[in-house]
Structures are given as C-alpha cells and as structure tokens.
Structure 1
Amino acid sequence: MTKILIIYTGGTIGMVNDPVTGALIPFDFKQIQQNVPELARLNYDLDVHSFDPILDSSNMNPEIWAELAAIISNQYDVYDGFVILHGSDTMSFTASALSFMLKNLSKPVVLTGSQLPIGEIRTDAKENLITALEIAATKINGQAMIPEVCIYFDYQLFRGNRSIKYNSEKFEAFRSPNYPILAEAGVTLSFYSNYIQQHPSEPLVLESVFNTNIGVLKLYPGININTVQAITRSSVQAIVMETFGSGNTTTAQWFTDSLEEAIHAGKLIVDISQCQRGAVELGKYETSKKLQQMGVISGFDMTFEATITKLMYLMGQDLSYQQIAALMEQSLRGELTV
C-alpha cells in the first residue's frame, strides 16, 4: 500500500468553526479521516505529523523550514511521498526553500492549503488535499511521477520555486508566471512530463543551513540617496534589488556609485525584475549596462521568493563570493531559465 506522510504546519485548511464561540479553531489532524471521510476511498496508508503549536504561515522562518526538511529526510525511506499542509501566504517561500534544502530529491513533496477552512460548506480544502495526496502517490514504472517540491492549488500543480501567491480572494491563489504548470486536475490527472524534473541518480542530501543577512532594495521613480544607502551601507551581506522591466535602474551617478561602493565592500547584489513575467537581461539597455559592468548578478526570471531563499541557502554554505555569484546565475533546482 502506498504510504504518504501528511505534515500539518497550520493554515486555513485545518480550521473548523467552534460550535460555542463561532470562531475558527484548528482541529486535530490526527483525526483527519473523520473530517474527510473520502480519504478512506483512496486506499493509502496515511500518517499525520502535526506541528505543536500550529503556525500561521506569516511566522514561517528558516528554522521551521529546516525542521520540515529534517522530517522529510528522516522519514524519506519510509514513505512514498509527502504532503505538507501550509498557510498560503508564505507557501511559495517554503516550497522554494525546501527545493534547495532537499538536494537530489526523488520523491514528491506537495504543499497545499486552502482559501476556506475545511469545515466550510464551499471549502476548497477537501479537493486540494485529496488531489495533492493522489499526486504524491502517483508513480510510473515504479518511480515517483513528480520527483520535486511543488504546490497544488485549485486544480493546478506548480513547481514550488516558480510559484507566487497572487490572489488572496479567489480559489485560484497561485500562479507560475515564467514556467508551465506540471500537472492539471480535470476528469483525470494530466501530467506534463516535459516540464517535470528528471529523477536524480544520487541519494538525498539535506542542506539546511541558511544565512538570512539579506536586504531588499525596491526601486521606484523618485527614490533618494538616503533610502538607497540605508540598504547599501547597512551590515547586510547581500541585497536583492527589484528593478524595472528587464533589469533597468536609474543611471544617476549617486545611485550607481552607491551600488559600486556596496560591491567593493563585499556585498552581493542580485537584480530581479518587479514584473512578474519576463526576465532580467543586463546590458540590453544602457540603463542596465553599467550594472553588468560593475558586477551586479542577474536573477534572470526567478521569483522574489526563489531569489531570497536561494541566496539564504547559498550564503549558508561554505562558499566564496565568486562561487555564490556564479551559482546564483545557474539553475540548481529548475528555479530559473538561463
């Protein structure tokens, strides 16, 4: 029988109405089959690991990511797949982080959640949970169909480190702006194998040391030197710079001087676009040629979530400035298109 481990971290999916107060409270996910009787028809061997206390996803951090990754690593040989129930607000960050921590992953790690609590009549929770379990259990020729970290939400499966949350009101909460979906749930489950990562030949390696000493510089017309230098002259070791269009910034001398000063001080600067779709192309226009010349790193088409977690991951390894800079511009887990 297919064995799946459900890891419940918290989030809307696990909430029910308190009959006394009417407030939303978490239910005991160890009794999940009582709340979702349809699970019995899947004929899977399901175990549940619940966080105690459960977490609002806004409180997620690298220590919790490391705990999640360790649970998966420690139980890796016992289960065929893993389903993580998680609040949607930071789900893309967690999925991206796990993709980097779980090197050589060959089993499915499917994150899902819901926009309405599982106890609501119109909830999306049951469909998301049941289909996420089906995806985690699917094999072809004895191997997992999806050997990567992904997010399932509203009938679509996304590569985790390509996903963003874009809507807080609709069931269609996630998108993958720069990469096709991996699967789609209709009358049948349709997997798009051309876009799914290949099975690795090496065993799983857990790499869970993260360095969070990162600043974020989001550009806007009228940004001033004090705002910029509050970041560039701070004690951070790296800066994610959200720029215009295909990686463009102001060419004001004070601005480029501030970036150059930061790079000479040993800070990594990664350029990603504020546009959700498209990629950074340093040097395409005059406004980004100077950035390329001074050593700003291109984030290509990475999401903000993938850029942040990838930087944290690489900075947590015993790597030189040059090695981190080079790896940021390479695809490690399918997070960017060069």
Structure 2
Amino acid sequence: MVQTKRVLAIYTGGTFGMLKNEKGVLVPQKDIEKVIRRLPQLHDNEYWTQSLSKSDKKEYLAIPDGKDTDLKVLYKIYEYEELKDSSDFTTDDWLRMARDIKKFYHDYDGFVVLHGTDTTAYGASVLSFMLESVGKTVVLTGAQVPIFQPRSDGLNNFLCSILIAATQHIPEVTVFFGCKLFRGTRVKKVSNTRIYAFDSPNYPPLLEAKVSLEVDPKMLIHPPGSVPDECRLHDKLSTKVYVLKVAPTITPELIRAVLKGMDGVVLETYGNGNIPIKRKEIYKEIERAVKNNVLVVNVTQCINGTVLGKPFYETGLLLLECGVVPAFDMTAEAALAKLSYVLTKTELSYAQKVEVQT
C-alpha cells in the first residue's frame, strides 16, 4: 500500500486567489478549492475518484504522482471566512494562523499558509517567533499573478510548497517563492513586478527547486531527528511596536511622536547603524526613550548588511552607549516581529528583554 502524507493548506487571502471586481481591481475570491480541483497539476482527480471520493478522506485533494516522491501527498484547504489583501493583515491575523497550526498540529504532517506577498516577510517572522518549537515543516507562499490567470506563478509556488511540507523535514517556519525556500526570519520582499519577488539578503536559501527539490543540509538549524514532534506556541504579541526610518528630514518632534506610547521601536538607520549625530536633539530623544524603558533596536536600511555590537563610526557608538540594541544582520521585519514577541514575555525584566533581543 502506498504511504500517504497529509498537509493542511490555510488560505488567508492575497493575490493568489484574486479576481478583478466591477471596478477593475483585484480582490480575494472565495471557494478557491473549486478552482484548484480543476487544475491537473494540483489535483489528481482520477486517484481521488478511485480512492478518496467514497471514503472519509473525500475532502482532500491529491497531488499527482511525480519524480519528487514515492508518497501520495494529500492536502486539505482550510479557507478563512474573511479573506484579506495582506496589506490589511494585523497581529490578530497572525495570531489566528499560529493558533490554527497549533490546533491542527497532530492531524497533519506539514502546513502551508497561502499568504499575500506584501506582508509575507512580517508574517513569516512573527510565526517563526510565536511557534517557539515546531517539529513539522511550515511554508508560507503566495503569488504575484493570481491562480485564475494563465501566467500565474501561484501554481508552481503552491505545488512546491505542498511537496516540501509533506516530504522535507525542515522543522521551522519558511517561505517558498519563485524556486527557493527561505528561512522565515531572513526573507524580504524585494520586487513587486518580478516573479522572483523574495530574497534572503544575509542568509542563503534552505532549498532550491531545480529538476528535483534540493535541500542544503548545512543551512538547516535542526538536523533530522533533533527536534521533538511538538508544537509550543507563545500566542501573545505586542502591538506597541513600530518601525521608524531615519531620513535627512527627520526631526526630534517626529521621533518623540513615534516613541510616545511605544514599548519598542525598530530604528532603521543609515549604513552600519548611523544617525545624524550633529543634531544632538535627535540623539537626546532616543536616549530619553531608552531611559524610559522603550526597547529601541538599530537595524540598517541597507538590504544587505549588519549593525554590529562594535560600531565603526562615532554615530553608531553613541546609540550603543545610550542603550540602543544592535540588530546585527536581522531584517527590519524580523526585528519588529521579535520585538513584538519579546515584549510580551512578562516573566522577563527590561534588562533581560534587551539581552534576548540581541
């Protein structure tokens, strides 16, 4: 008897399942499963008719047989009642996704989240921290061109994601897009026009989909068998966090307004972590916030690069000396997600939160 693997695909919205409305703009469509069942690359209807249609697995779809695995991969689509453009996603949406993975954890061998691309880097980072321990593969994916259109990239993105979730033991949150699988806390959206919309500037991809699915074992955090098959969820996120980008026109009034009422701020600085230090009033606003236990994290505006614990320039050193935390090679999205996560660790003191954030 052929061994089967089961995957849960959580459909949250995004370009993947969008159609144009009467105004000619794209909006998410319901009942995406009906469309997918008609696509032979995503559903083996003959197998379903013969083996599943009259069984308790009739709600599943089946991936057609191929060279990537000898297993039969079955998957179920769990469509949210309210589908969103990812620009509308908030922490509540990611909390729901994480809780659903926890809820259905023991019913499936892996998980795929169909997520809008605009906030995928945020969602993947948040889920990576919330799912403190996960023994199964979790893949976020989506599309630049909707699945309803003939040139959609969503078909291959979704197919590869389902296969990876079913057949590859990569126990963490990841993002598959184009032909590469990235670590969830390392990914950035780098283009809104190219099919290869995502990249991982400071870390190589975990897997590349060539003529076969090729995992780079050196890039994996957890060797096979080293992680227990459990899901430990931290289901709290702070919303009193924000990203403030340094620009030549920045003012102390703007910094003060952003920092007011915040528990944490990601400061996107120039180059190696620099701010306009000649303008002392800007520095003093940041210093005052840190003294009031606002956790400020210093991340570079550069797509590729680091903010080190030993700065190269005086401007970066002064920030470090006043208690701003260097993000090293984290993305702004990951730094914000980690802040949102760490700040809800009520058992930690401010000093401990600073230490965890580094």
TM-score (norm 2): 0.85
Q: Quick one: distance in 2 between partners of 1:151 and 1:202?
A: 21
Verify the 8 A CA contact 2:136 2:229 in the aligned structure 1. Answer: no
Secondary structure of residue in 1 paired with 2:9: strand
Q: Which of these residues, 129, 132, 140, is aligned with residue 111 of structure 1?
A: 140
- Where does residue 151 of structure 1 map in the other structure? 175
Q: Quick one: distance in 2 between partners of 1:204 and 1:78?
A: 12
Specify whether residues 130 and 265 from structure 1 end up closer, same or farther in structure 2 by C-alpha distance, changes over 3 A only. Answer: same
Map of 1:198-277 to 2, 5 A cutoff?
A: 198=222, 199-201=226-228, 203-232=230-259, 234-252=260-278, 253-277=280-304
| Alpha-carbon offset, residue 258 of structure 1 | 1.6
Map of 1:54-69 to 2, 5 A cutoff?
A: 54-69=83-98
Q: Quick one: distance in 2 between partners of 1:237 and 1:27?
A: 38
Deviations 1:34-56 (A, max 9, x none): 23222321432211110012111
Verify the 8 A CA contact 1:4 1:79 in the aligned structure 2. Answer: yes
**In the alignment, does 2:129 pair up with 1:100?**
yes
- Where does residue 163 of structure 1 map in the other structure? 187
| Alpha-carbon offset, residue 183 of structure 1 | 0.6
Q: Return structure 1 stretches of 4+ with deviation > 4 angstroms.
A: 20-25
Verify the 8 A CA contact 2:133 2:233 in the aligned structure 1. Answer: no
Specify whether residues 290 and 69 from structure 1 end up closer, same or farther in structure 2 by C-alpha distance, changes over 3 A only. Answer: same
Opposite residue 79 of structure 2, the aligned amino acid is: S
Secondary structure of residue in 1 paired with 2:82: coil
Verify the 8 A CA contact 1:17 1:119 in the aligned structure 2. Answer: no
- Where does residue 57 of structure 2 map in the other structure? none
Q: Quick one: distance in 2 between partners of 1:133 and 1:9?
A: 16
Verify the 8 A CA contact 1:16 1:27 in the aligned structure 2. Answer: no
Deviations 1:128-158 (A, max 9, x none): 111111111114xxxx2x1111111111111
Deviations 1:90-144 (A, max 9, x none): 01111111101111111111011111111111111111111111111114xxxx2
- Where does residue 210 of structure 2 map in the other structure? 186
Deviations 1:218-267 (A, max 9, x none): 112242222222234x1111121111111111223222222211111121
| Alpha-carbon offset, residue 14 of structure 1 | 1.4
**In the alignment, does 2:19 pair up with 1:12?**
no
- Where does residue 5 of structure 2 map in the other structure? 2
Q: Quick one: distance in 2 between partners of 1:95 and 1:294?
A: 31
- Where does residue 333 of structure 1 map in the other structure? none
TM-score (norm 1): 0.90
Specify whether residues 117 and 202 from structure 1 end up closer, same or farther in structure 2 by C-alpha distance, changes over 3 A only. Answer: closer
Secondary structure of residue in 2 paired with 1:230: helix
Verify the 8 A CA contact 1:100 1:310 in the aligned structure 2. Answer: yes
| Alpha-carbon offset, residue 32 of structure 1 | 4.9
| Alpha-carbon offset, residue 17 of structure 1 | 6.3
Opposite residue 150 of structure 1, the aligned amino acid is: T
**In the alignment, does 2:344 pair up with 1:311?**
no
Structure 2 unaligned residues grouped into runs of 5+? 45-63, 66-71
Specify whether residues 21 and 58 from structure 1 end up closer, same or farther in structure 2 by C-alpha distance, changes over 3 A only. Answer: closer
Verify the 8 A CA contact 1:80 1:107 in the aligned structure 2. Answer: yes
Specify whether residues 22 and 237 from structure 1 end up closer, same or farther in structure 2 by C-alpha distance, changes over 3 A only. Answer: closer
| Alpha-carbon offset, residue 202 of structure 1 | 7.5
**In the alignment, does 2:219 pair up with 1:195?**
yes
Q: Which of these residues, 141, 162, 169, is aligned with residue 133 of structure 1?
A: 162
Taking only the aligned residue pairs, the percentage that are identical comes to: 37
Structure 1 unaligned residues grouped into runs of 5+? 330-338
Q: Quick one: distance in 2 between partners of 1:104 and 1:323?
A: 21
Specify whether residues 118 and 226 from structure 1 end up closer, same or farther in structure 2 by C-alpha distance, changes over 3 A only. Answer: same
Two-structure CA RMSD over aligned residues (Å):
1.9
What is the total number of aligned residue pairs between the two structures?
322
Question: Relative to structure 2, which stretch is displaced further, 106-115 or 253-262?
Answer: 253-262
Q: Quick one: distance in 1 between partners of 2:19 and 2:217?
A: 37
Q: Quick one: distance in 2 between partners of 1:33 and 1:211?
A: 36
Q: Quick one: distance in 1 between partners of 2:128 and 2:261?
A: 28
- Where does residue 332 of structure 1 map in the other structure? none
| Alpha-carbon offset, residue 179 of structure 1 | 0.6
| Alpha-carbon offset, residue 216 of structure 1 | 2.8
Secondary structure of residue in 2 paired with 1:162: coil
Secondary structure of residue in 1 paired with 2:117: coil
Secondary structure of residue in 2 paired with 1:53: strand
Q: Quick one: distance in 2 between partners of 1:286 and 1:230?
A: 26
Specify whether residues 33 and 243 from structure 1 end up closer, same or farther in structure 2 by C-alpha distance, changes over 3 A only. Answer: closer
Opposite residue 315 of structure 1, the aligned amino acid is: L
Secondary structure of residue in 2 paired with 1:227: helix
Specify whether residues 80 and 228 from structure 1 end up closer, same or farther in structure 2 by C-alpha distance, changes over 3 A only. Answer: same
Q: Quick one: distance in 2 between partners of 1:10 and 1:202?
A: 29
